[in-house]
Amino acid sequence: MTAEKPAGGRGRIALIGVLIALAAVAGWFAHRQMGAGSDRAAVETIVRNYILEHPEILPQAMENLQRNQNRGQLSQVRSDVERPFPGAVLGNPNGAVTLVEFTDYACGYCRRSVEDIAALAKQNPDLKIVIRELPIISPHSAAAARMALAAAEQGKYTAFHDAMFAAGQIDPGAIEAAARAAGLDLDRARTVAASAAAKTEIERNMALAQKLGISGTPSWIAGEDVISGAVGADRLNEAVKAARKS
């Protein structure tokens, strides 16, 4: 995953939430035991000591809490997340199973994931891969993202997407070179890239990412899973299989 990882404050908030939840469970358990004549303070001490002796349950609890929160948020915006900007799709545009990637052309881990996506598409001919441009890393990320949307408008999204990542860098010269390599009508592309539609799409992606707690790229959505980082083709394939079953 990129350096844009969840902020420390977010992690602390999640930890506080977990501790509150554990405290609530301890209180409930103690209350039940008091009804049987047990000492509430003694029960709470047992629960506290167990947590101290088994701190590994905290990250596990945090992970479960975050997963449940993400799933709850996803259920509210799923249709928006899975509906692509016209043409901004890899794999089978009519596929029955959808994988969503939030990506940035300045993201080295996204670049590494290009091969994983290609492998997934080959292994899953029914897979539609919706790409959501999330330009958060470089000062030039937004320009590359808008040009990608312009390529989508011309039906050449895949060609630009691959050429932009293959460039290995992101600056105005690299963006134009990728557009030329993709065979874009440059005048038309520049007009679309500067359009309100492109601007609105980027803003929509930013808002969706915020709602889903996504603050880094690559991030993925498949079925009920919200996955962060360059997790590899095998992990993504597992998520795709789960999404297909659901």
Residue 162 tokens, joined:
């691959």
Q: 1.25.10.10, 3.40.30.10, 3.30.830.10, 3.30.70.1140: which CATH number matches 89-245?
A: 3.40.30.10
pLDDT at residue 156, as a whole number: 98
Q: Quick one: CA dihedral 229, 235, 237, 241, positive or negative?
A: negative
For the chain, give every domain's residue range.
Answer: 8-76, 89-245
Q: At CB < 8 A and 24+ separation, what contacts does 163-168 make?
A: 164/105, 165/105, 165/110, 165/111, 165/114, 168/111
Per-residue pLDDT of the chain (246 residues; tens, 9 = 90+): 444 443 344 455 455 555 555 555 555 555 555 554 556 677 677 777 777 777 776 666 555 555 555 566 677 788 899 999 999 999 999 999 999 999 999 999 999 999 999 999 999 999 999 999 999 999 999 999 999 999 999 999 999 999 999 998 999 999 999 999 999 999 999 999 999 999 999 999 999 999 998 989 999 999 888 899 999 999 999 999 999 987
